[in-house]
Each structure stands twice: as C-alpha cells, then as structure tokens.
Structure 1
Amino acid sequence: MNVKKQEVLDLLWNEPYKIGHWVGFTDLTGLHNEWLRSFLYAEDDQTLLAHRGSYKTTDLSLFLAIHSVIQPNENIIFFRKTDDDVTEVLNQSKKILSTGVMQQIVRTLYDTDLDLLKANNSEIHTNLCTSAKGVSQVLGLGIGTSITGKHADIVVTDDIVNLKDRISRAERERTKIQYMELQNIKNRNGRFINTGTPWHKEDAISIMPNVMRYDCYSTGLIGRDKLEELRQSMSDSLFAANYELKHIADKDAMFKEPKFTSDVSLIYGGLAHIDAAYDGADGTAFTILNRLKDGRIIGFGKRWDKHVDDCLVQVGMYHKELRAGSISCEKNADKGYLAKELISLGYRVKPYSESMNKFIKISTYLRKNWKDIIWLEGTDPEYINEILDYNEYAEHDDSPDSAASLLRKMEGGAKYNPVKGGV
C-alpha cells in the first residue's frame, strides 16, 4: 500500500472531522470527531442526545457522505420528522460529496473518480457501490412514511422528536409507534444511530437505547453570556429540556397539557381575532374559537414572525376553510388601520380599544377557560408553545394575548357574524 493511501485511511479512522473543516464546517471540535467516529465505526446501537446548536446534525451529514465512500455496499435509511426535514440534511451530504476534498479521497482510495448516480431530495447513490441489492446507499424518509418492504444495514433517526411532541400526547404516542416499527427494517447485524434533543419525559427518546448525553455545560460550545441570554428568552422547563437535557416541573406554568381534536367541523361558526405585528420582535397571531353548547371551546391558532400585512392571505385561507365569522382586532396601536384593511377585504370586523393589562387579561380569561379548550390538530405548534411558555415576564405573548382577547369578547356575548363575502 502506498504512503498516500495509508495517510488517507489514517485520517478517516483517527480524525474524520478534519474533512468537515476542509468543506467549511470550521466550528467542529474534537468532541465532534468522537461523535463522527462512533457513527462511522461503532458496532452497537447508539443514541446521542445533545443540546440545541451543538452541530450534531452537521456531524450526521458528514457521516452520510463519508460512509458512502468507505462502506459503499452498506445501505442507510435516514429518518427525520418530515420529508422536508430530510431534504435539508441530504442536500448538505450531497454538497460534501461534490467537494474536491471527497473527490481526492476517492481517487486515492479507489483510483477512480466519484460520480453521484443518484442525488435528489431523498436518495444518494454513487458509482462506488457494487452491491446487487438494488437500493440506494442513502435513502431519506419522513418518520411517517410507509416502510413496507424496506431494509437497511444502518437505520438513522435525527430529530424525530420535536416541538409537536412537547405539546401533544397524541403526537408523542404516534412517534413512539413509528419508531418501534423501524426495528423491523434493520438487517441482521445492522445497527441504529439515533440523535436528537428531548422535549418531554414521555417522548420517543425515552425508549431509545444506549443513551449518551451532552448538555450545554459539558460541550463548551456555548459561552456563559450566550447561555444566560438563552435562559432568559424561554421558560425554565424549555431551557432545561433543550439545553440541560433534563425535564423539570415548571411550577409557575399557567398552562399545561393542551388537548387536541381532528374534528374540524366543531369549529365552524366560530369567532376570530388577530393580534397584529408591525415591527420589532412581536409576531402576528390569528385565533378562531367556537364555544359549543356543552361548554367545550374548540380552538385554532396560527403564528407568524411577520408584519400583519404579509399574513393576510393565509389568514383569509384559514378563515374561509374553517368557516369563521367576524374578526376582532385592537385599534389602539394602528389607529384602526388593520380594521379598515379587513373591511376592504369583505370581513365583518369588530375593532376595540385595549385598556386592560395584558398579564391580567391572559391570567384571567385564558387561564379560566384553558381546561375547556380543545385545539384543532392543525394549530401551529409555535402558537401552542408560546402559550405553554407564558408567564408575566415572557418575551413573546402574541398567541396567549390573541386567545385571551377573543375569550373576553365571547364572554361579552359576541355571536357568530358571517362575512359579507369571500376573501
């Protein structure tokens, strides 16, 4: 074996993270080298839990690329929460394989050029594979995709637990079932690689094997000042889960364990509210609520980090789809601008002047009715999460403010008012 080939083999075995440096991921450290080596060479199932912003997914994209070169006849099926999430990682792996660094490594090891025979949003396959299996070296799928007939030497899951699993028990159970079904596609002598961040003590991560935890204090990747900034921007329980990798009871939480339904028809005839953002860090929140005769309140919410003008098309789509009635909006800050805009679009609008303290309003109306609210499953996770994280000092409160304002309106005797025309 020539010296140059041995040097490449030594690099791949001892310091594969240097390839990350050469292709642009200069923040990777010796810790990432440990993770990458375990992905490439470990024989047992493993679960790597690391805090947000730890570059674990970057490490995975390097693994998918390097493994396709050093073990070209082994196939990987890679799962994330959705197909769109998969695309992000596979595109990064394709870019790595297309770099001059990887081309040079392949020429040195195999005395040939590297060709990507398949390189799309869900598959990677190179000319290095000589297996007769007839499957791509890397196949990416959303966790909910049918896996009938599929098999893999390595099954990789990355962030299949996310914000939805924090807010919804049904989503947690669904993800657990989907994860357990993956056991059937691992080939004999195959293995699992799981990576992610826990969101809830009963989520799918709780059933994953051989867990290694790397919290925000042990990695040294986030400075003390930045950690304090992050801590101040979210609830204690959310910071503990995402950065300290532990679950604590949020003793001060007003809102816990939201309930959900898939029966969209229950919200028909409800009233709507917009909490508008114009500039700064605020978001635009849109809420529809319908109180049923049995006392239940069916809710739907969406939240955007956008100026309200940029949200009105989507507001119109949801308003029409869910057959909502009149829309309430505050007129203090914008001197009635939004109300006039909505009227011009054909809505029945109920503008109002706000004089009530926001914390009192939320802790009175939303807290009192929380146990009776059942949210449509199509509600934004970000909308619900903002409610779950709300306290008097919360940085963001657009969603709970919108819901509380509409509940106050409904208690004042507001009835269904149809729109004048379509939007």
Structure 2
Amino acid sequence: MNEKKKQYLTLIKNDPVNFGNLVGFNDLVDIHNEWLKSFLFVNEDQTLLAHRGSYKTTTLAVAIALLMILFPNKNLIFLRKTDTDVVEIIVQVAKILKSDYFQTLAKVLYGVDLILLKETTTEIDTNLKSSSRGTSQLLGMGIYASLTGKHADIVITDDIVNIKDRVSKAERERTKLQYQELQNVKNRGGRFINTGTPWHRDDAISKMPNVQRFDCHQTGLITDDQLQKLRDAMVPSLFAANYELKHIADADSMFTNPTVDDGANTEQIYDGIGQLDAAFGGADGTAYTVIKERDDTLYVYGKLWPGKHVDDCLSEISKHHANFRAGTMHLELNADKGYVAKKVEAMSIPTNTYHEKENKFIKISTYLRSNWSKIIFIKGTDPDYINEILDYTENAEHDDAPDSLATAIRAISNANKLQSFDISEFGFR
C-alpha cells in the first residue's frame, strides 16, 4: 500500500468528519465525527436518535458517500417517510461524490476517475463497483414504496417516523409494519442504520435496536438562550419530541411552556427548602425538589429517578442539597413510617415530616397550576422532571415530579401564612 493511500485511509478511520468539512459542512464537529465512524465501521444494527438541528441527516449524507467509495460492491437502500423526502438526500450525496475532494479520494484509493454512471433523484451508481449485480449502489425510496424484490447490504432509515405517527395510531401501525418488512430486505450479514426522532411511545422507533440518544442537553449544539426561544415558540410536546427526544401529552395537559433559566439565576435558589417524594420499588420514581421564593418568583431545581428506589438516590440528593444550600427537607410519613426521614437526618439534613391527607390531583391543581407562571426552573434541572410535569393529567401513569413540586409549593405557602399571622385579630394589642 502506498503512503498516500495509507494516509487517506487513516484519516477516514480516525477523522472522517474532515471530509464533511472539506465539502462545505463546517458545522460538523467532534460529535459528528463519532457518528460518522459508527455509521462507517460498526457491523451491528444501530439506531441514532438526535434532536432537530443536530445535523444528523447531513452527517448521514457524508457517511453514505464514504460508504459508496470504501465499499463499492455493497448495496445501500436509503428510506425516508416519503419519496419526496428522499430526493434532497440523494441529490446531496451525488454532489458530495462529484466534489473535488471525493474525486481525489477515489483516485488515490483506486487509481481511476470517479464517474457517476447513474445519477437520478432516487439512484446513484459509480464506476467503482465491480460486482455483477444489476442494482445500483444506492437506491432511495419512501417508506411505503413496494419492497418486493429489493435487497441491500446496508438498510438506512432516516426520519421514517414523524408527527403523523404521533397523532395517528393507524399511521404508527402502518410505519411499524413496513419497518418490520425491511427485515426481509436486508441481506444475510447486512446491517441497519436507523436515524430519527421519536414521536410516540409505541411508534416504529420503539422497535429499533441498539438505540443511542443525543438530546439537546447533551450535544452542546444549541445554546441555552436558543433553547428557551425554541421552548417559547412551540407547544411543550413538540419541543420535547424534537429536542429532548421525549414523549409528553398535550391534549389534556395542565402545564405549558416552562421557563428554564440560562444559568444567570442559580444563586436565587440558595437557602430554599427541599422536598423528597420517595419510591420504594416498582414503576414509581423518586423525585426531589429544591425551591426558593423571591419577589413573587419561585426558583426550582428538580431531579427525577424513574423506577429507582429512594435508597439508591440519597447520596446524590445529599450532594444536590449541599450544592444549593438548601435547608429543611419535607417528607411524607404515610408510606414508610419515618424510614426515609431517619436516613435524611443521618445525612445532617433537618426534616419536616407530615401525614398526607390531601387528594393528589387537587393538590397539584391547586398549588402547582396556580403558581406555574411564577416558576423558573434553574439551569441543570432534570428534563425528565420537567417533562413528567408537562405530561401530567389526572389519569397520568406517573406523577412523582408534579407531586413533589406541588408539595414544596404548599410548604412555602403554609410558611407564609404563619409569617403573616396577625395576633391583633384575636384582640391582642
């Protein structure tokens, strides 16, 4: 192997993102480099879920072009929701292949000029292929096109689930059925590359294997200020699906458009109180809240551990409590007869215990809903905590986060009533 060929192959192996940058995709950064390496070299089926604006489809287009050069005898089928959706990606891949940089890459690796023998809005074939198969290297299709007789070594799906799958059970079932049919398209020894965004708990993405999630809080590709503007511009369910890769309800939701701080007000939560809604196994989660009222604004930090026993959360809770300089922890006695209170007190955190007598739905409706517009969630608040609140209805499956926050607001409200007590009302002067 000559030295130049070795250099190019080493670059593809370690830093394939450079090829994306060279053809004009300058927004591709380190995280996209990892995605590219996964698309190119992982042999197992994979599913990459990433938020809107993460350049996942752009990364996929670069990966497809590299796959066609590195493995010219493999057949690729690329599927999106509709035939129209496919066109832009096939055209983009063709432009990448015709770029000077990819032409040079093919020349270095194979010693020939790269020629597109077939270039339509649905197919691309090049002169690099030596296989006797009559099918093109790349075939693009809408998810509902006929799959009869189609076969591929690499089956790629991109955004085959969309908002239609969220609102229509019939659409979800139709997409799932077609995705299952794709199993017959994949050649023996082949693999799937799935990318997209989840829209419903029971959509086709729920059937996809080896899922990796990259939400807006992980990638660092969107600033906190931009995220807040996006929150304000759309309903919570849409923001959660598009940017946090979460499913929340909206038809019967009591809460909309939360305000999440950019980090400027973190100190405002210092010297507040805590509330712990403990779980002891099963499907319920442990929810923890810190809250501080200042100038008719409620600053809130929340953390949710879905399906996790409270004992497994106490160490982390202790650290959060100290970090936010929180004081008394409010704890319900009904379920555990003081078990958690003793554990919390052992961590040198003062407790205030109570027996819960109020209906949970009424408590959440009364205290949380009436104060919702006053709440600012400080930076770092768990998105799962916020989303469980946004998902809350009287018949919600899980309600640990809204219950914890409503209880914390009630505790503040009761404390304010005590502070405003006027002894003169009873005739004392």
- TM-score normalised to the size of structure 1? 0.59
Code of the aligned partner of 1:184:
N
Q: What residue in structure 2 maps to residue 6 of structure 1?
A: 6
Aligned mates of 1:240, 1:132 — CA distance in 2:
47
Q: What residue in structure 2 maps to residue 122 of structure 1?
A: 122
- How far residue 59 of structure 1 moved from its aligned partner, in angstroms, is 0.7
Code of the aligned partner of 1:99:
S
Q: What residue in structure 2 maps to residue 82 of structure 1?
A: 82
Q: What residue in structure 2 maps to residue 32 of structure 1?
A: 32
Q: What residue in structure 1 maps to residue 225 of structure 2?
A: 225
Code of the aligned partner of 1:81:
K
Matches within 5 A, 1:126-275: 126-250=126-250, 252-253=252-253
- How far residue 64 of structure 1 moved from its aligned partner, in angstroms, is 1.1
Code of the aligned partner of 1:228:
Q
| Cα-to-partner distance string for 1:113-139 (whole Å, 9 max, x where unaligned) | 000001110001000000011110000
Aligned mates of 1:193, 1:210 — CA distance in 2:
10
Aligned mates of 1:252, 1:228 — CA distance in 2:
23
SS in 2 for 1:32: helix
SS in 2 for 1:18: helix
- How far residue 235 of structure 1 moved from its aligned partner, in angstroms, is 1.4
Aligned mates of 1:100, 1:92 — CA distance in 2:
15
| Cα-to-partner distance string for 1:84-139 (whole Å, 9 max, x where unaligned) | 10101000000000000001111111111000001110001000000011110000
| Cα-to-partner distance string for 1:131-156 (whole Å, 9 max, x where unaligned) | 01111000000000001111100000
Code of the aligned partner of 1:223:
T
Aligned mates of 1:109, 1:207 — CA distance in 2:
38
- How far residue 81 of structure 1 moved from its aligned partner, in angstroms, is 0.5
| Cα-to-partner distance string for 1:218-248 (whole Å, 9 max, x where unaligned) | 0000011100000111111221111111112
- How far residue 250 of structure 1 moved from its aligned partner, in angstroms, is 3.4
SS in 2 for 1:154: strand
Q: What residue in structure 2 maps to residue 54 of structure 1?
A: 54
Matches within 5 A, 1:265-414: none
Q: What residue in structure 2 maps to residue 320 of structure 1?
A: none
Aligned mates of 1:207, 1:15 — CA distance in 2:
31
Aligned mates of 1:200, 1:68 — CA distance in 2:
33
Aligned mates of 2:41, 2:133 — CA distance in 1:
22
Code of the aligned partner of 1:152:
A
Sequence identity percentage: 62
Structure 1 unaligned spans of 5+:
255-423
- How far residue 251 of structure 1 moved from its aligned partner, in angstroms, is 7.2
Aligned mates of 1:135, 1:220 — CA distance in 2:
40
SS in 1 for 2:156: strand
SS in 2 for 1:155: strand
SS in 2 for 1:209: coil
Structure 2 unaligned spans of 5+:
255-429
Q: What residue in structure 2 maps to residue 67 of structure 1?
A: 67
Q: What residue in structure 2 maps to residue 307 of structure 1?
A: none
Code of the aligned partner of 2:49:
L
Aligned mates of 1:143, 1:176 — CA distance in 2:
10
Matched, 1:113 2:113: yes
Q: Which 4+ residue blocks in structure 1 deviate beyond 2 angstroms?
A: 248-254
| Cα-to-partner distance string for 1:347-381 (whole Å, 9 max, x where unaligned) | xxxxxxxxxxxxxxxxxxxxxxxxxxxxxxxxxxx
Q: What residue in structure 2 maps to residue 379 of structure 1?
A: none
Matched, 1:17 2:17: yes
| Cα-to-partner distance string for 1:154-212 (whole Å, 9 max, x where unaligned) | 00000000111112111111101010000001100000000000111111101111100
Code of the aligned partner of 2:159:
D
**Are the structure 2 counterparts of residues 234 and 131 from structure 1 closer, same or farther at C-alpha, using a change threshold of 3 Å?**
same
Aligned mates of 2:242, 2:207 — CA distance in 1:
18
Aligned mates of 1:131, 1:125 — CA distance in 2:
12
Aligned mates of 1:160, 1:151 — CA distance in 2:
18
- How far residue 252 of structure 1 moved from its aligned partner, in angstroms, is 4.9
- TM-score normalised to the size of structure 2? 0.58
Code of the aligned partner of 2:76:
I
| Cα-to-partner distance string for 1:252-281 (whole Å, 9 max, x where unaligned) | 549xxxxxxxxxxxxxxxxxxxxxxxxxxx
Largest Rg, 1 or 2: 2
- How far residue 249 of structure 1 moved from its aligned partner, in angstroms, is 3.2
The RMSD of aligned alpha carbons is 1.4
